[in-house]
Every structure is written in structure tokens, then in C-alpha cells.
Chains A and B, each alone.
Chain A
Amino acid sequence: MASIALPLPDPEIVGRRESIVRDLVVLCGADAVISDEDGRRAFETDALTAYRRMPLAIVLPSTTEGVSAVLKYAKANGIKVMPRGAGTSLAGGAVPLEDSIVVGISKMNRVLEIDFHNRFARVEAGITNLAISAAVGAEDFFYAPDPSSQIACTLAGNIAMNSGGAHCLKYGVTTNNVLGVRMVTIDGEVVDIGGAHLDSEGYDLLALIVGSEGQFGIVTEATVRILRAAEGARPMMIGFESSAKAGICVARIIASGIIPVAIEFMDKPAIEVCEAFAKAGYPMNVEALLIIEVEGSEQEIADRLAYIASIAHELNPQALVVSGSPEQSAKIWKGRKSAFGAIGRISDYYCMDGTIPLAHLPHVLEQISAICAKYGLRVANIFHAGDGNLHPLVMYDANAPGEADKAEKAGAEILKLCVSVGGCLTGEHGVGLEKRDLMRVQFSEEDIAVQLRIKAVFDPDWLLNFGKVFPLDDVQAAIDKAQRARTEAPPSEAAA
């Protein structure tokens, strides 16, 4: 793997590294700056480990003012900046460049305000996803989006990627659960958008900022919606002899008028690995397993699970198990949520994230198998079935010459397949570095131009997270065009 070109560093900036480090120490203090080689190595990649570059330095400010000072400095000196949370991006969104400063907000992890009456929490954006739910859990509240990486990933990273999770079928993804942000622009200006109230005045800037992959500014605080937890929740497992049947089952459940909190899918290879890891009690004789969770009172849960079971029975499931205890439920979820880690213990893997219209599921799964077989690679499928968000894990051996490249090629084919059936390249992990060069598969030149112009509103010099999300040619063309417009326009118009 490594076929995606990272932009070449500017030797002039790299040559100034030592003086840049000195300046950062002056701005933020020595304990906020990491500049030695070992220290920097810890920040040279994210969860897409095939790509790595040593950044100039890492700054970990403790305050919004600190972030502001660094960004002002970077802007004045034309130095690129890569915002970083916990570095769990699977898309290479947090892989730095050699001529960039990494600005991490992991030290800013405090809860600032919890308001149950108005149902929001205001936090520093470096807080981990799970810590928000933990902070409000005693009152039976929670923060809904639950990426499997929630122990480690930061809210800032979630906001940048518009992250999702298993329970988003009912509760929505990050963009549906964030009420406001405090963001520092590349000029160092601190902007507050949204807050404790609902809906935005003027344009919905929050909608643009969530999912902007660290390219609009650095988010240092956020106000998120917290929800009262249901009285109880319980998963059931339904196993089928084919993925096609599992797909039909999902469609029938949804069409029947029940929206469970989660419907997760695993195929046989995934079931085997996850069972070996978590001892969750998954049925082993099935080709496809659905984990379906419903919420409510004891009686409501029983009613709903019975209803779902009646739908499943029409399809002759090979296994149908309702969790009998909180311990069993926890195990069932542990197996699912640690799926990536479990696969990672037996093989290197490349995790894809396309979304498809559910009706195409059987066809797409067949094609995924065919694509991987063509490259001589194995694949395990784990995904959020309720919303068609696939996670094929393409397994390969990083030490076997050429295998990583094959995995990357297979991955690209899988994503093109997703787009061709009406889906998209990424459902929740983001474009990052990984899918940058595939953007034109999904978008026209105009579609990309519209997005690049928005980027230019926030960061016309392209200092923030350069090299990600858009093909480099398109970015360069947009920068050149803007430059020409600036030089051609008479000064009065340029000012207007």
C-alpha cells in the first residue's frame, strides 16, 4: 500500500524546522511542544498505518487561545497545519505532512457544563466520545453517536469526520447531535456557532463544519445534545444460511414500521474471528448473522423482539437467540464492537466504508467476494445493515511483497462498485487521504468546484489539512484559478 501520492514538502519550510520549533515553544510553552524524533514518530500516522510522514513538530495547546496563537503564527508564516484528535482515523485523515505542524487538542478534554434541563453538554473538543456519556450516565443520559473507537476517539475527530456508530440507525450521526462549536479559523479568529438553542441563525454553518475533515478550522469546544436513555435495551441474534436472506430480513423489518436502535450484520468469516475473540456465543453454523437491538420497558422489548422474530421466522432462520441477561448483551456487543481489533489480531486488514442502497446488498456482497478472490485476498464483512453502511475488511499480509497494493486495488474496486449501485465512497470514516483520488468517481467537476470554493472561504491558502479529501490536481487548479482572478480583477472589485 502506498500508491496515493502525498504532496512533496516545501524544502524551505522544512529547512526552518528548528526556528519554527523555537517559535512554537515561545507561543505555547515547552511542555506543549514535541519536537524530538521519537516523540514525533508517535504522530506520523493514524489508523491507516501504511501512510506515514514525520511532521515538523507537534503542539498540544491547553486552551483555545493557545490554538489561536499557533494558527495565527502558521498563517503569517505560510506553514501547513494538521489538526489531530486521537489519531484513530481509518482514512488517513490525520496523517501529517513533512512540512506541517500537528496541532493536537487532546489536552483540552474537560466537561465545561452539563444541563439536563435543556439537555445539552458543553465540553472541550479533545474529550473522548465515551467520556461524554460517562459524564452524564449517572443521570441515565447519554451522548448518542457511538463509533466503535469511542474509548479513544475525540469529539473533535468525530465532528471533523461526522462519525457514526451502531446505534445511529435510531439516533443519527454526529451532525444530528451537535448543537454548537467553538472553532479557531486559520487567521486565529475564535468563532462561536450555535449553542444551547436549536437551529442556526442565517446559514447552517454547523452543517458545513461537521464533516469538513479538519479543513475549515480547529474545533476546541462543542455543545452536544444529550438524551435520556431508554428504560432498557436488549439485542437478539438471527442467523441465516445466506447474506441475501439476511438482507431481505432487514428490509422487511424496516418496511414493517419498526426501527430498531441497531441492526448489525456479520458474515461467516467475521463471526468466526469475533467469536474467537469475545466468546459472545454467536451461532457458528450460519453464513450471515444479524444483531438487532430494541429499547423500551421489559414488556415493550419483549413485544418488539417477538414481532421481529415473527418476520424472521418467515425466512427460516438457522438461529434465533434473544439475549437472556445484561451480561450476555454486553458480550454480544463486545464481539461486534471489537471486530476490527479481533481481525487485526489475525491479519493486516484494509477497512472499507462504502454505503449502498440496501436492495443491492446480495449483489454487492457477491461482487465483493469476487473482487477479493480475483486478488487472492480474503474478506470479512461487518456492517451497519440498517443504513446500508458496509465495512468489508480486506485481509492481506503487509510483509508479503505486493499484497498491500492488491488490497488497496481491491478496496478501490469495492468502493467504485458501491457508487455504481447508487451508494457512496464513505458512510462514516471520511475521505481523508485514502479515498481522495476516488472523489471523481462520485462527483463531477462542478460538484468538486462547489466544495473547493467553500474551502476557500475558510482557508484560501490551503494551510489546513492539505493533501486530503480532494484530488491534488483539482485543488491546484482551484488555487491557480483563484490566483488569476485576484490578479486580473481591478482592485475595487476585488475588495467588494
Chain B
Amino acid sequence: MSDIMRPATEWELKSMMTALSERSIPVEILGAGSKRGVGRPVVAPVVLTTGAMRGISLYEPAELVMSARAGTPLSQVEVELASRGQMLPFEPIDLGPMLGTGAGQQTIGAVFAANLSGSRRISAGAARDYLLGVRGVNGHAEIFKSGGRVMKNVTGYDVARGLAGSWGTLAVLSEVTFKVLPLPDDVLTLVYPDLTDDLAVEMMSLALTEPYEVSGTVHLAPALVSRLTHKTLSKEKRSVTAIRLENFTRSISYRKQRLRNALRAYGEPIELDLESSLAFWGDMRALSFFPPNGTHVWRISTAPSMAASLVASVRRHMKVEAYYDWSGGLIWLETPASADAGSADIRRAVATHGGHATLIRADETVRRTVEVFQPLGPAVDRITRGLKQAFDPMNILNPGRMYASL
């Protein structure tokens, strides 16, 4: 069994890291552990969790900024924001339900360390776009900061944003500072049933070329629709394609009409009101339609116009169920259990269509044998290794989690 370290302060974190780095002892870094099953398995005698470093240290609603210790539960952050009518605009997804670690567990530090963004990413940007500053401890056991608490800051390199999506392999974050935005007054969703993948992507892209600030565009295969927790939609036996509008009620009713006109050719939509919309987009955030059922799940980023063809080319080799987010720019693909999780075919399809793929859900044995993150080209690989060396020369932070020998 691993030893567990639970620093409660940044100084404790630093002293623990000093002890580990002096003796080159590898350490697995966790928040709440809800995403522990993502990435290559980390072999380390010590586990360090940020869970005891918690609390919101700064919240200025009129300046749209919040700072929180890395181990603060996301749920606490979101409750606090909602109490002042604000939100995390990038709508972080929750991988807990899919990975069988339970809903609502994740910490705010891990949301940024994994750069997890949800459906609103197409209009609002990604988690990394809202990250204003970080504090943390690197593999040299140095406490460092980057960025700050103000909205605009180009003082020095953007190290904070550079750490987004590094999955604890470069530094242990101790505090994150991020921009927040007001919650929309109202939400409405137009749901178009029974579109093929091609047509759905075409329509979703068209919706984004209209000036109505569409803030979510998703398309789900019929099998996934039937697994929704949404009461009415789950009874649809067809695919659904959903377009979200968020705004003041008066704007929404105007924009809805305009949008319906522009998308006339794609059929008659079902309209979801505020409450029904929140339930539907809640399903999207929790990815609850990928219950732990022994299948694998891939996350593929590509240009929207490539999405349907990419999925079709994988489908020639295996049975897949696809959920398209970001107008098709993000594909979540459920693939049957197999020794390589369909890796060879999926990587080939991604290579010909452009973009990158990450294996999000697979057994430990599979994750030990196939590349989980997108393999890097030689130049990017060299820079990546250089950065790892710069932050963590002993290679003790989450060794091997993203790439073997790194």
C-alpha cells in the first residue's frame, strides 16, 4: 500500500516535496481521486492528496474573480458562486459517474490540472481560458506563483495557463485563481430529433454562424439518448441534436424564433424550457449516459466538419456509440471492450482526419499497454520532455501518467 500525504498548507506541501525530491521518491498526486483512472497507471510508493488544502480565499463578485485552495471541492465553489448569481463559464464536466468514482467529488485544482471544459466551451472558452493565476510547488520543491488575480496580465510567461492540462506531472497546484461570469437569466434548448451524424454536425455548425450566441451544441446517438436521466427525452427512440440559448428571457424568445427560421430545413424542434434544459445539460456535464458497463470511452478533438466521417471510419472496425459536443469538435466515443480499446483503428482515423484522441476509460491493464494520451510528434515530444525536466528533474511527479518515461 502507498503512504498517504495530506498537506494542509502550502508550507507543508513544500516540506513534503522537499523530502520526496531529496530522495527521488515518486509520488502520485491526487485531488479527490475522481479521475485517478484516467491516464497511464502511476507506480509510486507515495500518494499525495490536495484534499486538506481547502477553502475559498478570495471572492470579489464585482470583479468576477475567485481564488480557492486546490483541494476545495468544485461543489463548494459552485454553491458559493451561485449564491451570488455567478458560475464557472466553462461548465466543467464530471468524469466521476463515468469512471465509477461517484458524482460531484472533484476538486477545483484538478479541474484546471486536467483542463476539463463542458459544452459551453464553444462560446465561452475552456477551463484554461479562465485561469488567471496559480500557486504551487514543483519537483524542485520550490513554491512558485504565476499570473495573479486581475483579469488582464501579461507579466512574464503565462506559466499558469501552461500548467492547465498537465495532469499533475509538472507541479502540485496549491491555489488557483479564476475568472467567473454571471449566470444567465434564462435557458432554452431546441432539440431536433432523428438527424444523421452528418446533418447534425452541419446544423450545429450553421447555428454557430448565426449571431445569436448559441452556447451549446450536442448530438447523441439513439442508444445514448435512451440512457439519459432526462425524463422525456430518454423516451425518444431517435438521435437528438440540441442547441442551447442562454440569455435574458426576452432575448431568448426573440433569438429562438430567428434561430428556428434559420434552421428550418432540419425539421421541427422540441423546445425545452429552463428547468428541462437544466436537467438535459446536467446530463451532458455528468456524461451520465456512459455508465461503467465494461466498455471503453475515448475523447477525440477534431475540426467539426471532420467529425462524422471520423466516427464513420472507426465504425467500419467496431461497434461504437458517439456523443458529439462542440458542434462535433469534440467526440466522445464508446467502444467495445477489447485488449487495445480499439486504439490502433482510432489513432489511424484521427491521424487521417486531424486532431487528437485520449482514452478516458479503460482497465488498468489496457492503460498500461496502449498510449492513453495522443502520441506526440518528435519536435513537440522534445519540448515536452524539456518542460518536464525543467519543472520536475527527478521525474517524481505522477511519473508516466501522461507518457511513458515522463
Q: A interface vs B, CB < 8 Å?
A: 115-120, 140-141, 161-162, 164, 168, 172-173, 175-176, 185, 189-193, 195-205, 207-208, 210-212, 228-231, 251-252, 254-255, 257-259, 296-297, 299-300, 303, 355-359, 384, 386-389, 422-431, 435, 439, 442-444, 446-451, 453-458, 469
Contact A450 B159 (CB under 8 A): yes
Which chain B residues in 31-77 approach chain A with CB under 8 Å?
A: 60-65
| Residue-wise interface mask of B (6-27) relative to A, using a CB-CB cutoff of 8 A (1 in contact, 0 not) | 0000000000000000000000
> Closest CB of chain B to A434's CB: distance in Å?
12
Evaluate contact between A201 and B390: CB separation under 8 angstroms: no
B129, B142, B373: which contacts A201 (Cβ < 8 A)?
Answer: B373
Is B303 a contact of A204 with CB atoms below 8 Å? no
By the criterion CB–CB under 8 Å, are A257 and B387 in contact? Answer: no
A-contacting 9-mer, from B145-153, B270-278, B285-293, B314-322:
B145-153
Within 8 A of A (CB), among B77-121: 85, 115, 117, 121
A197 in contact with B63 (CB, 8 Å) = no
Asked if B384 lies at the interface with its beta carbon under 8 angstroms from chain A, I say yes
Q: Which residues of B contact A388 (CB under 8 A)?
A: 63, 150-152
Most buried by A among B165, B358, B403: B165
Interface residues on chain B, size class: 35 or more
Chain B residues with Cβ below 8 Å from A444 are: 144-145
Name which of B145, B152, B170, B213 has the most chain A CB atoms within 10 A of its CB. Answer: B152
Which of A198, A199, A230, A450 sits near B146, CB closer than 8 Å? Answer: A450
Known A-B contacts A118-B205, A387-B152, A389-B152; A198 and B390 likewise in contact (beta carbons under 8 Å):
no
Q: What separation, in Å, do the CA atoms of A201 and B373 have in the docked complex?
A: 7
Query: B130: shortest Cβ distance to chain A, in Å?
Result: 9
A168 touches B125 (CB 8 A): no
Question: Assuming the A-B contacts A197-B354, A199-B115, are A117 and B156 also in contact, with contact meaning beta carbons closer than 8 angstroms in the complex?
Answer: no
Taking each of B155, B301, B374, which has the highest tally of chain A beta carbons within 10 Å of its own beta carbon?
Answer: B155
Which residues of B sit under 8 angstroms from A299, Cβ to Cβ?
A: 250, 254
The stretch of B191-199, B218-226, B229-237, B375-383 in contact with A is B375-383
Q: Which of A175, A192, A255, A455 has the most CB of B within 10 A?
A: A255
Among B164, B209, B302, B373, contact of A119 (Cβ-Cβ < 8 Å):
B209
Chain B residues in 8 Å Cβ range of A259: 181-182
**B64 touching A254, Cβ below 8 Å:** yes
Which of these, B62, B121, B126, B144, contacts A450 with CB under 8 Å?
Answer: B144
Please name all residues of chain B whose beta carbon is closer than 8 Å to the beta carbon of A435 when the two chains form the complex: 155
Q: Please give the residue numbers on chain B whose beta carbons come within 8 Å of chain A beta carbons, in ascending order.
A: 60-65, 85, 115, 117, 121, 125-126, 128-129, 138, 142-146, 148-159, 161-166, 170, 181-183, 185, 205, 208-211, 213, 248, 250-251, 254, 301-305, 326, 329-330, 354-356, 358, 373-374, 376-377, 379-380, 383-384, 386-387, 389-391, 402-403
Option from B125, B330, B354, B373 in Cβ contact (under 8 Å) with A195 = B354
In Å, the complex CA distance between A428 and B151 comes to 11
B202 to A: closest C-beta gap in Å: 8
* Closest 9 pairs (CB-CB, A-B): A457-B386, A387-B151, A207-B161, A201-B356, A201-B374, A427-B152, A257-B182, A453-B390, A196-B303
List 4 extra interface pairs beyond A140-B211, A208-B157, A450-B159, CB under 8 A. Answer: A191-B379, A198-B326, A388-B63, A426-B153
Q: Which residue of B lies closest to A458 (CB)?
A: B383
Instruction: Give A190 Cβ to nearest chain B Cβ, in Å.
Output: 8
B154 lies within 8 A of A446 (CB): no
- Which residues of A have CB within 8 Å of B161? 175, 204, 207-208
A228 lies within 8 A of B211 (CB): yes
Q: Are A172 and B129 in contact (CB under 8 A)?
A: yes
Closest to A163 in B: B154
Across the interface, do A446 and B144 meet the contact criterion of CB distance under 8 Å?
A: yes
Chain A neighbourhood of B149, CB < 8 A:
357, 422
Q: Which residues of B contact A426 (CB under 8 A)?
A: 153-155
- Whether the pair B63, A229 counts as a contact (CB closer than 8 A) is no
Bound Cα distance from A120 to B185, whole angstroms: 30
Q: Give complex CA distance A199, B116 in Å.
A: 10
> B251, A296: Cβ atoms under 8 Å?
yes
Given contacts A191-B383, A201-B374, contact A428 B154 (CB under 8 A): yes
Kindly list chain B residues whose C-beta atoms are within 8 Å of the C-beta of A387: 150-152
Q: Report the minimum CB–CB distance from B350 to chain A (whole Å).
A: 10
**Would you call A203 and B154 a contact (CB within 8 A)?**
no
Q: Given A116-B209, A357-B150 in contact, is the A257-B183 Cβ separation under 8 Å?
A: yes
Shortest Cβ gap from A408 to chain B (Å): 18
In the bound complex, do residue A258 and residue B156 qualify as a contact, i.e. CB atoms below 8 Å apart? no
CB-nearest residue of chain B relative to A455? Answer: B157
Residues of B contacting A164 in the complex (Cβ-Cβ under 8 angstroms): 152
**Contact A173/B305 with A198-B126, A300-B251 known, Cβ cut-off 8 Å:** no
Which residues of A lie under 8 Å from residue B301 when comparing CB positions?
197-199, 201
Q: How far is the CB of A323 from chain B (nearest CB, A)?
A: 19
Cross-chain contact A451 with B156 (CB below 8 angstroms): yes
**With the chains together, A435 CA to B324 CA distance in Å?**
46
A424 in contact with B391 (CB, 8 Å): no
CA distance A427 to B356 in the complex (A): 33
Chain A residue with the shortest CB-CB distance to B213: A230
Q: Can you identify 23 A-B contacts, CB atoms within 8 angstroms?
A: A118-B205, A118-B305, A191-B379, A195-B354, A197-B301, A197-B302, A202-B384, A204-B128, A205-B384, A208-B159, A211-B158, A254-B62, A257-B182, A357-B149, A358-B63, A387-B150, A427-B152, A431-B155, A431-B156, A450-B146, A450-B390, A454-B159, A457-B390
